[in-house]
Amino acid sequence: MQDYSALRDAIRDVVDFPKEGIIFKDIMPMLAQPELLKLSVQAFCETAAGQKIDKVVGIDARGFIFGSAVAMELGAGFVPIRKKGKLPWMTNAISYSLEYGEATVEIHQDSIKPGERVLIVDDLLATGGTAAAAVSLVQSLDADLVGISFLIELEFLNGRQLLPTKNIHSIIQY
Ligand SMILES: O=P(O)(O)OC[C@H]1O[C@H](OP(=O)(O)OP(=O)(O)O)[C@H](O)[C@@H]1O
Ligand SMILES: Nc1ncnc2[nH]cnc12
């Protein structure tokens, strides 16, 4: 197993952001280092090794940073799940709760064909509300969900409980 401690070392804890009581995992110092950006994208691709992926779905907004790079590496298309009101075409929508708030996300109805093999990518799994909403949207398009991959998993929040049991991967755990 590859050593990802350099990624972990470059992630900064910000106390009480965006709300009191939240310890925010700030990935910006990691992203700004070219070799760590490359290593993080490689780590995501490793989570899908040996799998044919038609579409990588990235979740607004930090999921986009990794999602399109991973899609290019895997030879897949990229599909964004966006916060409400940003996608111009016909959408499916779902509301959900996350560690520090509530939101509604949407996906374009024609972005994934029935049966296409999908990998969902996001920076962080906390309570699992956001990822569970993404799973529902992907399933609403009758896609074949191959896996869900995160850079960071906050294990103490048990986000996996809300997700399908198979093929959930995280690269760094707290
Ligand atoms: O597991 P959960 O409790 O649902 O939390 C995880 C989500 O929270 C953050 O997104 P945020 O909505 O803050 O969006 P951003 O990427 O635009 O900062 C993060 O990028 C995940 O998508
Ligand atoms: N603690 C946290 N740090 C960064 N992003 C998050 N999204 C949800 N919880 C988070």
Q: Residue 1 pLDDT more than 90?
A: no
| Domain at 50-173, CATH class | alpha beta
pTM, two decimal places: 0.98
The predicted-structure confidence for 26-80, as pLDDT tens digits, reads as follows: 999 999 999 999 999 999 999 999 999 999 999 999 999 999 999 999 999 999 9
58 lines ligand 1 (CB under 6 A): no
Ligand 2 atom 10, closest CA? 24
Question: Which atom of ligand 2 is least distant from the CA of 27?
Answer: 4
How far does the centroid of ligand 1 lie from the alpha carbon of residue 129, in Å? 9
The predicted-structure confidence for 84-121, as pLDDT tens digits, reads as follows: 999 999 999 999 999 999 999 999 999 999 999 999 99
159 lines ligand 1 (CB under 6 A): yes
How far does the centroid of ligand 2 lie from the alpha carbon of residue 159, in Å? 12
Q: What's the average model confidence in pLDDT over 150-160? A: 98
ipTM here = 0.98
Q: Residue 2 pLDDT more than 90?
A: no
Per-domain boundaries in the chain: 50-173
Question: Which atom of ligand 1 is least distant from the CA of 128?
Answer: 1
Residue pair 138/117 in contact by the 8 Å Cβ criterion: no
How far does the centroid of ligand 1 lie from the alpha carbon of residue 122, in Å? 8
What's the confidence (pLDDT) of residue 165?
A: 85
How far does the centroid of ligand 1 lie from the alpha carbon of residue 168, in Å? 17
What is the CB < 6 Å shell around ligand 2? 22-25, 98-99, 124, 126
